Structure 1
């Protein structure tokens, strides 16, 4: 968004974002006209513009409630007073908590060397249980608040709660950042192979397995080049769309598959580099590795952590792409 976006523009954007695309322009124009008339009336009475604008928007109330009126969408379940607060909090918790529980359980089971079937079933059951608990306890809290007539700050709205207008286009800075990052990644691969990040007695020791050259690393370079072209295409198109989000998903999953297959086969990291770590760690490292033998050793635990970390980053990249595409379509 630009620095001079007014409260009125933010209010209108927050109101129309949940309406059907075909209704947004009409509602936007109607709101702009009615708010402008109300502000002008206050200005004629001598109020400063900023105070007049805030007073008019505050009188209109929560843009979510106003949007529900335009869409003829009744706000029932908990009750109109707490409904939007309950729904917003419930969506936020359901986006965060079950995913974290699923990932934590899957990671724990993977480290403990559990069978694949047990990892999947335990993770899904834990995430499902977490979702049920969130729905029940969150709803129960708001039912109690509604039935007891409690007066709280959570159901009061003012213009300071208006969200910033999101810009889901692909800017020049975003393109430059993407290309710089991809260039650094490609340079790091070449440096690791020919110069080495680790040098022992004047000899470079690659971190990635040299056996990956040329085909394994070549495939990764193809993905890096595809990501660079993809970033340029987004910039030329001026933003995200459903097709762009699909391509982003495919590229992200291809990279995740490349990493996970090599990790599971033990072909990602140079065995000589691992041997150097063991030698440098001395007896303390050997004792720790022996203590983690039931889980496959320290290196297997680290590999599991690395795999889950990369999967988390890829998952966010996919979700963020679809979120931008949906926002652009609605806007």
Structure 2
């Protein structure tokens, strides 16, 4: 029986995260992606001809993000014509799917080096234009109330189902902003953020961190999605513009080239849940993955979780 090839991460970078109508409003998503891909190639000194594939995640694949944006990005970057590219979509987990797709190809021995990541530019390709309710299958509309599937409404549903109070949500949001601000001030994000030049100015910090927020300020905000709701602009994640990238290789590829191994990809999984309560998805996914890799939650000392 053949030995499974271990996929490893040898580079991980991102742009700063911009707010909607913020610092990246005049910069296209392709250009944000090109910057970080070129930086990965320069940092690792991996030649474009050694890259087997570019896998790029994008949820809102229309307008500027249409037409297999991954291939457009690849052709405009240092990768050039010889590196094929595909765009994948698993909504908020699209970039994670790109990484899973790339790592699976490496594990199977079909690829040696893959660049994976994704982009979302919610200023230039806004979410509120993403769905035309008139085009949704009528039988689907009968099964689900489409308005209940909007993210804010699913958040309200999760809060109600699990008795998560407004105060708990506000306190969590406050902690999140305080943690992000502290990490920024201490330089913890410096190595992963690729500075982006916009109209002669260098942008190298996330734009949406509310440094001066407080529980008193959060308490004053009104619910956004339901009059009697608990989800506000203050305890919701922001609408952002940004891109992120990793280079995944086989363990042998990395060692032969003297590349620093940042992490090994030991496993991944996906699950489906009631879309009206989609925010609970990480719970069964985590349980399933821990079982698959024979670990307990106590074995994990760092968790990165999408707060949207």
Structures share fold, TM-score greater than 0.5: no
Relative to its length, the structure with more helix (as a share) is 1
Highest RCO, 1 vs 2 (Cα 8 Å, sep ≥ 6): 2
Larger fraction in strand: 2
Structure possessing the higher radius of gyration over alpha carbons: 1
Q: TM-score range by the shorter chain?
A: under 0.3
Output the TM-score relative to the length of structure 1: 0.24
